[in-house]
A and B are shown apart, each in its own frame.
Chain A
Amino acid sequence: MALLDIRNVSRTYGEEDTVTPALRDVFFTVEEGEFLAIMGPSGSGKSTLLHILGFLDRPTSGSYLFTGKSIGDLDDEALARLRNEQVGFVFQMFHLLPRVAVLNNVVLPLVYAGVPAIERERRARESLTVVGMTHRLNHVPSQLSGGERQRVAIARAIVNAPRLILADEPTGNLDAASGQMVLETLERLHAQGHTIILVTHETTLANHAERIVRLHDGRIVSDERRERRNVHAHFSK
Chain B
Amino acid sequence: MRIPDQLRTATEGLKTNLGRSFLTILGIVIGVAAIVLVLSLGGAARELILREVQGIGGETLVVRPGRQPEGPSEVAQTLFSDSLKERDIIALRRKENVPGARSVDPAIFVPGSVTYQDQVYRPTIFGWNAETLAEAFDITPAEGTFFTEEDTRARAQVTVIGDRVRDELFGSATALGETIRIRGHAFRVVGVLDARGQVGFLNTDELVLVPYTTAQEKLLAISYVHEIFIRADDPSRVEEVAEDVRRTLREMHGITDPAKDDFFVATQQDILERIGTVTLALTVFLAAIAAISLVVGGIGIMNIMLVSVTERTREIGLRKAVGATNAEIRAQFLLEALLLTVTGGALGTVIALLFAALAAVVIRQQFSLPWSFQFSTTGILLGLGTAALVGLTFGLYPATRAARKDPIEALRYE
Which A residues are closer than 8 A to B by beta carbons?
Answer: 51, 54, 56-57, 76-77, 80-81, 83-85, 89, 91, 93, 95, 97-100, 108-109, 111-114, 116-117, 156, 160
Residues of A within 8 A of B319 (CB): 108, 112
Evaluate contact between B318 and A95: CB separation under 8 angstroms.
yes
Task: Determine if B118 is an interface residue (Cβ-Cβ < 8 Å).
Answer: no
Contacts A114-B1, A114-B2 hold; do A76 and B314 have CB atoms under 8 A apart? no
Residues of B within 8 A of A117 (CB): 5
Task: Determine if B99 is an interface residue (Cβ-Cβ < 8 Å).
Answer: no
Q: How far is the CA of A108 from the CA of B9 in the complex (A)?
A: 10
Evaluate contact between B325 and A89: CB separation under 8 angstroms.
no
Contacts A83-B323, A99-B16 hold; do A112 and B1 have CB atoms under 8 A apart? yes
7 intermolecular pairs with C-beta atoms under 8 Å apart: A54-B321, A93-B411, A98-B16, A111-B1, A111-B2, A112-B322, A160-B322
Evaluate contact between A112 and B315: CB separation under 8 angstroms.
no
Evaluate contact between A76 and B326: CB separation under 8 angstroms.
yes
Q: How far is the CA of A111 from the CA of B318 in the complex (A)?
A: 13
Q: How large is the interface on B (under 10, 10 to 19, 20 to 34, 35 or more residues)?
A: 20 to 34
Contacts A95-B318, A97-B315 hold; do A113 and B323 have CB atoms under 8 A apart? yes
Evaluate contact between B321 and A89: CB separation under 8 angstroms.
yes
Most buried by A among B320, B323, B407, B411: B323
Q: Give the distance to chain A from B388, nearest Cβ to Cβ, in Å.
A: 25
Evaluate contact between B315 and A84: CB separation under 8 angstroms.
no
Task: Determine if B324 is an interface residue (Cβ-Cβ < 8 Å).
Answer: yes
Contact of B323 among A98, A99, A109 (CB under 8 A): A109
Residues of A within 8 A of B327 (CB): 77
- Nearest-CB residue, chain A, relative to B327: A77
Task: Determine if B106 is an interface residue (Cβ-Cβ < 8 Å).
Answer: no
The SS class assigned to the B binding surface is helix
- Nearest-CB residue, chain A, relative to B2: A114
Q: How far is the CA of A99 from the CA of B17 in the complex (A)?
A: 11
Q: Give the distance to chain B from A76, nearest Cβ to Cβ, in Å.
A: 6
Q: Give the distance to chain B from A179, nearest Cβ to Cβ, in Å.
A: 21
Task: Determine if B317 is an interface residue (Cβ-Cβ < 8 Å).
Answer: yes
- Nearest-CB residue, chain B, relative to A113: B323
Evaluate contact between A77 and B322: CB separation under 8 angstroms.
no
Task: Determine if B408 is an interface residue (Cβ-Cβ < 8 Å).
Answer: yes
Contact of A112 among B12, B326, B328 (CB under 8 A): B328
Evaluate contact between A95 and B314: CB separation under 8 angstroms.
yes
Q: How far is the CA of A54 from the CA of B322 in the complex (A)?
A: 10
Q: How far is the CA of A81 from the CA of B411 in the complex (A)?
A: 18
Contacts A51-B408, A99-B16, A111-B1 hold; do A80 and B325 have CB atoms under 8 A apart? yes
Q: Give the distance to chain B from A105, nearest Cβ to Cβ, in Å.
A: 9
Q: How far is the CA of A77 from the CA of B330 in the complex (A)?
A: 13
Q: How far is the CA of A147 from the CA of B72 in the complex (A)?
A: 83
Tell me which residues from 87 to 111 in chain B have a Cβ below 8 Å from any Cβ of chain A: none
Contacts A80-B323, A80-B325 hold; do A97 and B318 have CB atoms under 8 A apart? yes
Contacts A111-B1, A111-B5, A114-B2 hold; do A95 and B411 have CB atoms under 8 A apart? yes
Evaluate contact between A84 and B408: CB separation under 8 angstroms.
no
Q: Give the distance to chain A from B102, nearest Cβ to Cβ, in Å.
A: 75
Residues of A within 8 A of B325 (CB): 76-77, 80-81, 112
Evaluate contact between B322 and A83: CB separation under 8 angstroms.
yes
Q: How far is the CA of A111 from the CA of B322 in the complex (A)?
A: 10
Evaluate contact between A95 and B317: CB separation under 8 angstroms.
yes
- Nearest-CB residue, chain A, relative to B8: A111
Contacts A91-B411, A99-B16, A100-B12 hold; do A83 and B5 have CB atoms under 8 A apart? no
Residues of A within 8 A of B1 (CB): 111-112, 114
Residues of B within 8 A of A89 (CB): 321-322
